[in-house]
A and B are shown apart, each in its own frame.
Chain A
């Protein structure tokens, strides 16, 4: 009895020594934690709280009234429309580009990879200006467009185009490393079993990347709804027509209409929170798939 107690005590002492050897001093740990929490609170939680507090400062009635205003409704509708067009297009483009880059070798491949990253490296304002220079009245295609009575800049098509440009790396960037890591073997196996190209894609490739794909789509969607810079340049800020939610918020704020401004902002903030939750769930799901137990159930006699 006494022996076993000594043994346990000894073990605990050993564990304690090991812990001391691998940990920093207490004051270092607590300082680091305090700095991290302070930083997070000051720069992340507080602004988020301010958005909701300001939005609700005149009561729930005023808050809800902000969404009934026709301009707000138009802005929300336009934002949804833009995302509904941009996200599926970028989904198709992203999958096609990732497939081509990960599975094939071709001339200009590295150029394509660089181009996909371009929207990340260019300021959104510049992205918007590019469209003005191409489609604007004084732009490259301006005269032709005017002749045929097609409006792109200061109209919905321009907003959609700018949004597509800004958000197009998200899906491709997410998928390229994933498809590359999975290699070709499963696709080759499908081919030897008689599957065609589309069958192989839909039955083998797509199911293997679905979580990564979903992740890319979520991030792409969040950015498409929240984009300000590029859209601001091409929109023309026509109330009720070419204002997306972020632009609408800016206008309201500049007119000192704090409650409606923060009310619409709270909607975007909510979208961000929902995105984060869904993103975490997806990450957790895809992680789960990768780390499925590598059980060894033993060989039955052969």
Chain B
């Protein structure tokens, strides 16, 4: 089912959570709403679910306006950050809940409910834990039960609010891969909220970057990462070095003071050399080297006193044999220049 949000505005007292947000999600996609806390991403998700009502704007499922429909009638699967499993019910009863509360006319027989729950338990690979209570499960297991519970009612869309936010890094990785697989199997239109750019880029077909109640950019992971539309997106997706600069005759000059343009360079798009090599470069002195991990992270101070982060491959680093306090040349391979916006957003 496709989802459309048109002109959604939501205020909580004086705080504007969403300001005229328009979003279209085609059927069967796996979409990430990505943004810092307070960007309105969770509010948008809750408005789509019907757990919150917009002050203005409409929500459409498959072209039908459902803004006035209650959360019950929308038939969405919703997964909460802190699982929200029913504490006093077993895993089995948690999953069966959505089927058991149906009006008698639409309620499946006990045998059918059992079969459905068994099928879902198999899907989440927790068949042997059906009799456990939520407090006896690990975080990752609880979140999978929450997902099974949401899927039991065969929702038309699946909405996930920071689904992996409360889990540790390794379990998060596993669940991400598993959710991706699940989506490939059942192709349900899914929207998840996250503040983790890595999670959004890895999991989603389409990333919606949000900031201060507005959408900054919508695109596939490659687009938003490599072709950021705004300084905010560039800043938010991955590490970045920010310089002031000016553009003259199509050439970018980096300056030490504010000159009307912002120059962004990702750390891995900077190189270090001992010779200027004729190309673009600036001088810097190496301050700190962290060689643990796939990339070597070098911190250097530029000739005008700013801090610059450079990421080198381990090979490159070994070839250079850099030392602390060494004077070097920093060579930008690619830069992104934005005009200074009226109110500079520097994160």
Contacts and interface: CB of A to CB of B under 8 A. Distances in A.
Given A192-B76, A192-B150, A199-B101, A299 B174 contact: yes
A297 B49 contact: no
A191 B51 contact: yes
A195 B88 CA distance: 17
Contacts of A299: 138, 140-141, 171, 174
Interface string A248-279: 00000000000000000000000000000000
Nearest to A296: B138
B182 to A, nearest CB: 10
Q: How large is the interface on A (under 10, 10 to 19, 20 to 34, 35 or more residues)?
A: 20 to 34
Interface string A195-228: 1100100011001100000000000000000000
Interface stretch (B59-67, B77-85, B200-208, B236-244): B77-85
Contacts of A301: 125
A24 interface: no
A192 B152 CA distance: 12
Nearest to B137: A297
A295 interface: yes
Nearest to A206: B88
B138 A297 contact: yes
Contacts of A207: 86, 88
Contact of A192 (B49, B133, B175, B178): B49
A295 B78 CA distance: 26
Q: Is the interface of A mostly helix, strand, loop or mixed?
A: loop
Contacts of B149: 189, 193
A195 B133 contact: no
A302 B174 contact: yes
A147 interface: no
Given A194-B72, A194-B98, A302-B178, A185 B138 contact: no
Contacts of A194: 72, 75, 98, 101-102, 153
Interface centre among A185, A189, A191 (most CB of B within 10 A): A189
A117 interface: no
B37 interface: no
Contacts of A296: 138
Given A195-B101, A299-B138, 18 more contacts: A188-B84, A189-B84, A190-B86, A192-B51, A192-B77, A193-B101, A193-B152, A194-B75, A194-B102, A194-B153, A203-B86, A203-B97, A207-B86, A292-B136, A297-B129, A297-B136, A301-B125, A302-B175
Contact of A195 (B72, B75, B80, B177): B72
Given A192-B150, A297-B137, A298-B138, A208 B87 contact: yes
Contacts of A196: 72, 101
B87 A186 contact: yes
B135 interface: yes
A149 interface: no
Contact of A292 (B135, B152, B153, B177): B135
Nearest to B126: A300
